A and B are shown apart, each in its own frame.
Chain A
């Protein structure tokens, strides 16, 4: 079955450490996105990429970095510069014809700083 796989489902990070969240899709979608969800805040866009080797900052990119070396992969690194990284992180993807196929989301990664 085609879909988006996020791993791990739960992740614990110590203060001052970088951590990388994985997002892989086998839908052959062109665009991929990272969102963060906090209680009462809805989903906020961190980074997005429309093609390989290109990505743009979203609304809350500070303290995060991404890469898009392959079409199917869009990993997110939460750096030590991110002041409040504890949140639920969601990856999504969409094909060129988003009107027909919409956006597909992964099941999320819960990151907790300990």
Chain B
């Protein structure tokens, strides 16, 4: 039972355009959502997060949108840069145990 789903295994965009990565979740107890960027053989790097009391959070080129009624969140990267090419993981947590549940990731390729 996959509680966090990233249905697009890969995404390719042109440099300077917008990248939109999507994530769906099923567990209504989730109240905190995070996006991580990861390179092979390295630990994930935190990008941006959002709590369930908000519907949008911005940090520079990164914006996360949360639609609680649809149980959907998305990460927007504008403008996309070749250095953004990596695997992006959506993660969620909720309740009292703080554990993070991850999606399977989306490989983003930004072409020059």
Contact = CB atoms under 8 A, between A and B. Distances in A.
B32 A98 contact: yes
Interface stretch (A64-72, A73-81, A106-114): A106-114
Interface residues of A, number: 29
Contacts of B103: 42
B89 A102 contact: no
A58 B93 CA distance: 13
A6 B104 CA distance: 23
B44 A90 contact: yes
A100 B50 CA distance: 10
A43 B46 CA distance: 14
B102 A43 contact: yes
B32 A99 contact: yes
Interface of B: 6, 9, 32, 34, 36, 41-46, 49, 51, 89, 91, 93, 97-105
Interface of A: 4, 6, 31, 33, 35, 40-45, 48, 50, 56, 58, 88, 90, 92, 94, 98-99, 102-108, 110
5 pairs of A and B residues whose beta carbons are closest in the complex = A105-B43, A42-B104, A43-B102, A42-B102, A107-B43
